[in-house]
A and B are shown apart, each in its own frame.
Chain A
């Protein structure tokens, strides 16, 4: 099973600032990585797939990068609606599909 590790667990950021979230895989997942955003009481929402492709309707301030074992989600200028928990997920080697533990982006 591929283990996905996200850091930091919590990120405190002021509105308008940049947020950089990290995701590491225990072995290479090539570019088969997705990012999801989850707000309290809601289902996750797809942000990024293929490590760097934004899903339909996702604002350009969200960008993904990386390949192999190291990945980054960047939110260029945080808006109030971006404060949430973010999960990465690999789909290169499964079953099982595996998710990271999440990074909570909170208001500083």
Chain B
């Protein structure tokens, strides 16, 4: 299993764009076998899937966030990134990156980053 680590600003102003990066170690982001994903958790609440990117560049997003989300990857740096535009206080959450295994019969989020808290406030 790979290891993942999120990084990025912990404070974002309303209406601005939230930007986070997830660095992957212990494996190549280009190797296939995983959808590289973002998930968030509002304070004291459950988990919300944001979207994923595959090494080919194909993406899939949660319809509830699709208008504002962009996930990209940089194979040279072995990392992938999340951009969420026009943020409001409702986007305040812990953001996790995770690897979704796409192996037939073993589909699951099998590795997670530790999570990073992002607060939207002026």
Chain A interfacial positions (CB closer than 8 Å to B):
1, 32, 34, 36, 42-46, 49-50, 55, 87, 89, 91, 94-102
Chain B interfacial positions (CB closer than 8 Å to A):
46-49, 51, 60-64, 96, 98, 100, 105-110, 112-115
A95 & B63 in contact (Cβ 8 Å cutoff): yes
Contact partners of A49 in chain B: CB under 8 A: 106-108
User: Which of these, B47, B114, B115, contacts A99 with CB under 8 Å?
Assistant: B47
Known: A43-B96, A97-B49, A99-B46. A34 touches B64 (CB 8 A): no
A32 & B109 in contact (Cβ 8 Å cutoff): no
Known: A34-B108, A34-B109, A55-B108. A96 touches B115 (CB 8 A): no
Measured CB to CB, the closest approach of chain A to B38, in angstroms, equals: 11
Measured CB to CB, the closest approach of chain B to A30, in angstroms, equals: 12
Known: A42-B114, A43-B113, A55-B110. A99 touches B49 (CB 8 A): yes
A96 & B113 in contact (Cβ 8 Å cutoff): no
Closest Cβ neighbor of B110 among chain A residues: A46
Contact partners of A99 in chain B: CB under 8 A: 46-49
A44 & B112 in contact (Cβ 8 Å cutoff): yes
